[in-house]
Amino acid sequence: MTSLDWTPPSAMTPKVVADWRSFYSAARIKYGITPADYRDLYIAQYGVCYICREAKGKHPDDPKGRGGRRLGVDHNHVLGDGNRAAVRGLLCTGGDRTCNRIIGWLSRTQLQRAVDYLESPPAQQVFRAQREMDEISAQVGRAFPDRDGFMGTVLGLEVRS
């Protein structure tokens, strides 16, 4: 199937048809996907960004092309253009705070760290360590030895030079 093997819904306006044809042609080249692929992704995701689940994209069958933006095809750039296997899903796109931009700024490792950060805030780990050191100091009746050295190990971070 080529990018032009697409039959628009009968009531779709000529401008909307032209917009979708242009998009589908570019999507075929850049992502290796067909109009049917895009539509199936859209339907499977209930028409919303996979990550935030709030941004609603234009429905590919809407004859008037209503709605905000079309959901963007997110793909793994390392795998290259035209590679259908690189496509990950549909995300909100176009602005500075969209999911496609956010995941593009951070590596997988950084994104995982962000999840870990939210699930186990480092400040709370430090505060627990403070309480433990204070309890030990109170029990032995003197200041905790090498407080800074101990604090430097609490988060398990590696020092970069």
Q: What is the pLDDT of residues 101-112, one digit of tens each?
A: 988 888 889 999
Stretch 94-99: mean pLDDT: 89
What's the one-letter identity of residue 141?
Answer: G
pTM: 0.77
Residue 33 and residue 82 in contact, taking contact as beta carbons nearer than 8 Å: no
- CATH 3.40.1800 range(s) for the chain read 14-106
Q: Residue type for 58, please?
A: K
Question: Can you give the pLDDT at residue 2?
Answer: 47
Question: Across residues 30-35, what is the average pLDDT?
Answer: 96
Q: What is the model's pLDDT at position 3?
A: 42
Going by C-beta distance under 8 Å and a sequence separation of 6 or more, which residues neighbour residue 11? 63
CATH fold for domain 14-106: His-Me finger endonuclease fold (3.40.1800)
CA distance 66 to 59: 8
Task: Give the Å distances, CA to CA, from 33 to 2, 8, 44, 95, 135.
Answer: 9, 17, 15, 24, 61
Q: What's the mean pLDDT when you consider all of the chain?
A: 91
- Residue 1 above 50 pLDDT? no
Q: Is the CB of residue 155 less than 8 Å from the CB of residue 130?
A: no
Report the 10 Å Cβ neighbour count for 132.
13
